[in-house]
Chains A and B, each alone.
Chain A
Amino acid sequence: MKEVENIMIWAENLNMGQRPENFNIIVKRNEIVGITGLSTEEEQELFKIFGCIKKPAKGRYIFDYEDTSLLETSRLEAIRRDKIGYVFNSPRLFDNLCVLKNVTLWADYIHSRKKAYKMGMKILKELGMEEKSHFRIEQLNNLEKVLVSFGRALINKPLLLLIDDIFTYLRPYEVVEVYKLMMKLAHDNTTIIILANELDNISFVGRIVNL
């Protein structure tokens, strides 16, 4: 019974692209799971399904005990707002906005400006970027840019952090910093799913699923 209570994701008979075989996975809370062996299109498809951006064409995807194939668009949007954070394969930040504005980009739409500001500053503090809150994006190095994109994803304290292959964007020593951050997040009750081509040297990933 306790086992069932801890489940975050239950995917059953998902079918990606032209693959003949279906895909099943169960992810528990606070787990760090790496998924590899997917083509770019398949990776994008899975990112959308896991991220509740799209309903699965075939099979079932149950996220936090809700079957997404049965949900309306507005409920999917609410799940994305409240429970999921996204880090894309490049930081996708906006040069015309400062660091803080990039972090509060979407929180600004659902909270008051004051609250969004507080949330933004809090997450930047946690990421060690508080002093650079008013910096322009072009003034940051690649690692800092990635940290800002993490800040944007984590501002609402999501249950699930979905990370698309961000490591290719970073140098090896920068990757280590991101690993440290992910380990800290896992301790803070955040489930992490990493979609990547290779995850060979990542020790902290609890489970690697090679499809």
Chain B
Amino acid sequence: MKRNIYHIIPLLLSSIGLILTVGLMTLGLSIYQGGAECATSNYVSRDKSIISVSSYAMADWGELTELKEKLMLDDDIIVSSEMDVSLSTDMKTIYIKAIGINSLYWSIENKTILYGRLVDEEDIEHANPVMVINEKAALDLYNTRDVLNKRVDVYVKDNLRSFTIIGVVKDPFYNQESQCFIPYNLFSASNYKEKFLSIVVPQHLKNDVKEKAIKIMYDKHKNNIKEISEYKQLTFIDNWLDDNLFTVCAIILIATLLGTATLVFGLDNYLDMSRDRLVILKTFGISDDKIKIRLFNRLCLFEIIPLVLGLLIGYIFALVLGNYIFIKPLLSFKYIIIIFSYEMLFITLAVVISFRKLKNFDVY
């Protein structure tokens, strides 16, 4: 038993690169999937998909009803439109991003409430002048997070309206922006700089409806309609990836190279330690291929340990990171298969490189 452990230790040590790569892949994929599920959990469970388009030119909220009718939708269109406003209290004025929303918006944006409540359907229906702000805005305005029922004035293009703060939401760690959420219909569509319209459709109709929606918007406004990510929750990750794609690729590549190199080193050691046995096998007429297959199978079986370890470490890190960005990491069977295949690729590469020396093993 002891001797077997001595055989295994060099292989375990040399699997550090493998553990690192599997960990990184688990972290990335579980956060991505967790984010997607989180943003669309209501819809995924009903086999529905969310598509989003954005338009600068839409001037009237009536177009939403028109669009809904033309697309023959059952569900309402989810609105999230952005504009820059100034927000004033008796003491202070700050510039802030105001997001005009309807109540369905919360089903695609995963927000944690710190105080109060979110904007609901009734607020939209009655166009109540209520506002939910994020904790950064609360701190900027009042130096405290508990700002319920305080009144603030919003200036939009020389129009002034008073709002009551009905809720405060927690910021994900990546959010450095002051934001407030208001019922979208309190201001006319032309006041908003960007208007994102998200449409919930059955999954199989996703592409058809998307094309149709873009065409309707284009025919109406004759300007470019922007398609945006299906999962708004993942906009942060998408943006981060856009900015850091090279770094991500470099990290994965370095981890892969490091992993392969260390594994090749470990395998070399393992072959040296097993030299006597391999020589006997070769002498008794066992072909190199048979020996390789047996060793490969054994190695695959053994490498389950680093795989599980990598998955665990990656998932734990994903849980920690997810806690900061409000995403509960998830890892589906599909992603586990992807990670497993990558590991197999890894092992095959190491085996092909290190097993070349098998040819030179001789009985004397």
Contacts and interface: CB of A to CB of B under 8 A. Distances in A.
A179 interface: no
A178 interface: no
The B interface, classified by DSSP as helix, strand, loop or mixed, is helix
A92 B276 contact: yes
A106 B363 contact: no
Interface residues of A, number: 25
B276 A80 contact: no
Contacts of A92: 276, 280
Contact of A77 (B277, B285, B294): B285
Contacts of B283: 51, 53, 80, 86
A96 B3 contact: yes
Contact of B284 (A48, A81, A95): A81
A80 to B, nearest CB: 3
Interface in A54-96: 74, 76-82, 84, 86, 88, 92, 94-96
The A interface, classified by DSSP as helix, strand, loop or mixed, is helix
Contacts of A170: none
Contacts of B345: none
Interface string B1-14: 00110010000000
B281 A53 contact: no
Contacts of B332: none
Given A47-B364, A81-B286, A92-B276, A109 B4 contact: no
Given A96-B3, A109-B294, A78 B276 contact: no
A178 B281 CA distance: 24
A80 B7 CA distance: 29
Contact of A80 (B3, B284, B294): B284
Interface string B280-304: 1101111100110010000000000
Contacts of A6: none
A81 to B, nearest CB: 3
Nearest to A85: B284
A74 B282 CA distance: 11
B60 to A, nearest CB: 78
Contacts of A94: 276-277
Contacts of A78: 285
Interface string A25-58: 0000000000000000000100110010100000
A188 B284 CA distance: 21
A106 B363 CA distance: 14
B281 A105 contact: yes
Interface of A: 44, 47-48, 51, 53, 74, 76-82, 84, 86, 88, 92, 94-96, 105-106, 109-110, 152
Given A86-B284, A96-B4, A105-B277, 8 more contacts: A48-B364, A53-B283, A77-B286, A96-B3, A106-B285, A109-B281, A109-B291, A109-B294
For the complex of A and B, the 7 pairs showing the least CB-CB separation, nearest first, are: A80-B285, A81-B285, A106-B284, A96-B3, A77-B285, A44-B364, A109-B286
